[in-house]
Amino acid sequence: MTMHRSGAASVDAMIEDLRTLVEVESPSRDVEALTASAKAVAGVIENRLGGQAVIVESEAGPHVHWSGGGEPEVLILGHHDTVFPLGTLERRPFAVKDGHATGPGVFDMLGGLVQAVHGVALLEDRSGVEILVTSDEEVGSRVSRPLIEERALACGAVLVFEGAAEDGALKTGRKGCGSFEVTVTGLASHAGLEPEAGVNALIEASHQVLDIAALARPDMGTTVTPTVASAGTVDNVVPAEATVVVDVRVETADEQERIESAFAALSPHLDGAEISVQGAVGRPPMPESASAELFAVARRLFPALEGKAVGGGSDGNFTAALGVPTLDGLGAVGGGAHADHEYLVVDTMAERANLVAGLVRAIRKR
């Protein structure tokens, strides 16, 4: 068993590490940028925790995996990809002012990564702890999902370091979420000379939008929202093709099945039109029951903590669906995820690092 010295969490050191990560831009799908970011993440982990942070190559960009040795007991889960394109840092550089840290990715979720690492650093004994930082969470975790699920099952408990909910609440439940693309194929014709000879894909798509929107069940927590549409080529041609993209959020597995079945059953209203559908609810729902055990532990450590079910998804959806106890929203306290006003509240960083250490100790005593 390896023993390490522990001490109080240093906010100055956390700010230093946060600056290091933010200043290496890491947009999803940019493998070159993500490679540089993964090296920066690995460097922070090794500097604070010792050992070796392994770079796990993937087609989506490198993931980073670190183990404190011994039998795996708890997985600390995060991601280093961000939604911001290269060049955002120049326009919005890292800064600390009036108690807030700002810059691309400080809240979602580089601040959470830093707090997690410094929380583990407080432990004298780091055995049983694994850290997995993936490179494709913001684009659905298609590549990293098998690795996430493998390590979650091996460890038996998962702490997810996505940003906290409003007022610092932990995220005790998440909706399942997914995207569908509906493609309508019609038949082009001259819009002035013989519009009746065509099959108007735009009109068919309009029917489909109304049918799709009617699938929502707000009383069940199910939202079905058409978000992007395109059709046509020029103004004097009956459009031969149209597409509609739809965002879906569900709270239960039954609703997931209903929605997926409904999309598969979509049928055309116009003679000669054809419908094809791609997509699914890619992240299954994370029920609050999945977090109940770990949230109770967190409340014993910090009684003022609140829990909240939220609409957005994370990699915690995958681990919860496996039946692995999962607690989310342990990362930065702040707001503005994916927006220019993104920020992290500096005064909360040390407390969150202490929460990490306390949760890991409690999990290993189960």
pTM of the predicted model as reported, rounded to 2 decimal places: 0.91
Architecture in CATH of 11-175+286-364: 3-Layer(aba) Sandwich (3.40)
Asked whether the beta carbons of 196 and 187 are under 8 A apart, the reply is no
Residue 99 region by backbone torsions, left for phi larger than 0, else alpha for psi between -120 and 50, else beta: left
The average pLDDT across 310-339 equals 97
Q: Where in the chain is the domain with CATH 3.30.70.360?
A: 176-283
pLDDT over 70 for what percent of the chain? 98
What pLDDT was estimated at residue 164?
98
pLDDT at position 6 over 60: no
The average pLDDT across 122-142 equals 97
pLDDT at position 3 over 50: no
Give Cβ neighbours of residue 157 (< 8 Å, ≥ 6 apart): 73, 74, 75, 294, 324, 325, 326, 363, 366
- pLDDT digits over 274-319, tens only? 999 999 999 999 999 999 999 999 999 999 999 999 999 999 999 9
What pLDDT was estimated at residue 91?
97
Give the pLDDT band (50/70/90) at residue 8.
Answer: confident
Radius of gyration of the chain (CA): 23
The pair of three-digit structure tokens given for residue 243, joined into one six-digit string: 């597409």
The pair of three-digit structure tokens given for residue 363, joined into one six-digit string: 């999990």
Amino acid at 74: V
CA distances from 261 to 27, 257, 258, 279 (A): 34, 6, 5, 11
Rounded CA separation 144/258 (Å): 27
Rounded to the nearest integer, the mean pLDDT of the chain is 96
Q: Where in the chain is the domain with CATH 3.40.630.10?
A: 11-175+286-364
Asked whether the beta carbons of 137 and 81 are under 8 A apart, the reply is yes
- pLDDT digits over 196-230, tens only? 999 999 999 999 999 999 999 999 999 999 999 99
Question: Residue written as tokens 């982990």?
Answer: 45
Which helix H or strand E contains 351, and what residues bound it? helix 349-364
The average pLDDT across 179-200 equals 98
Residues making up the chain, counted from first to last: 366
Residue 107 region by backbone torsions, left for phi larger than 0, else alpha for psi between -120 and 50, else beta: alpha
Asked whether the beta carbons of 174 and 317 are under 8 A apart, the reply is yes
9 CA to centre of own chain: 26
Give Cβ neighbours of residue 321 (< 8 Å, ≥ 6 apart): 284, 285, 286
φ and ψ at residue 172, rounded to 5 degrees: -95, -10
Q: Write the class of the CATH domain 176-283.
A: alpha beta
What pLDDT was estimated at residue 317?
98
What pLDDT was estimated at residue 366?
77
pLDDT at position 177 over 80: yes
The pair of three-digit structure tokens given for residue 143, joined into one six-digit string: 């590549």
Rounded CA separation 26/62 (Å): 11
Rounded CA separation 145/160 (Å): 14
What pLDDT was estimated at residue 7?
57
φ and ψ at residue 364, rounded to 5 degrees: -75, -10
- pLDDT digits over 66-118, tens only? 999 999 999 999 999 999 999 999 999 999 999 999 999 999 999 999 999 99
